[in-house]
Amino acid sequence: MSLRPFHLAFPVHDLAAARHFYGDILGCEEGRSSDHWVDFNFFGHQLVAHLDPAVRSVSTHNPVDGKDVPVPHFGVVLTMAQWEDLAKRVDAAGIEFGIAPHIRFKGEIGEQATMFFYDPSGNALEFKAFGDEANLFAR
């Protein structure tokens, strides 16, 4: 599957904390920046953290396969090996999982590995992996 990179700009309350989280923990290379924003290479996509010192996370949750999934959220579909490595790095960094790494829709079309956690500004992130990427949009 060959996709064009997406671009996502989102608010953070502290650029230093965002740099540590996205750069040091998630391993995203930093691109351009200013005193008010930072670009990150988010697994081949352009993620831009914009400073808003007053930002407060506001979310709701929707049930998905027996778990309360935070909305809004964003993330990336990784290979299974990348997903397993990231789960270990996040756990080793002491980041609390909102939804611990597990297999969703087990035994069904669309079976996927998934995990949720939050950045320091309260933005929810989901990372997924599929044994068969052809199931990404399975119905």
Residue-wise pLDDT for 52-100, tens only, equals: 999 887 779 998 988 899 999 999 999 999 999 999 999 999 999 999 9
- Measured in degrees and rounded to the nearest 5, phi and psi for residue 27 equal 80, 25
Query: How many angstroms separate the CA atoms of 133 and 121, rounded?
Result: 31
| Whether residue 95 is found in the same domain as residue 128 | yes
Domains contained in the chain, number: 2
92 and 132 part of one domain: yes
Same domain, 48 and 65: no
- Give the global pTM: 0.92
Task: Say whether both 88 and 122 belong to one domain.
Answer: yes
Query: What CA–CA distance (Å, rounded) separates 110 from 112?
Result: 6
Same domain, 45 and 64: no
Beta-bridge partner residues of 116: 99, 126
* Mean pLDDT computed over 30-45: 97
Beta partners for 102?
114
My answer on whether 46 and 4 are in the same domain is yes
Do 8 and 69 have their domain in common? no
Half-sphere exposure of 29 (CA within 13 A, CB side): 5
Angle CA 41–45–47, to nearest 5: 65
- CB atoms closer than 10 angstroms to residue 54: 6
State what percent of residues in the chain have pLDDT above 70: 99
Same domain? For 83 and 129 the reply is yes
- Average pLDDT over the chain reads 94
Range of the domain at 13: 1-52
Length of the chain, in residues: 139
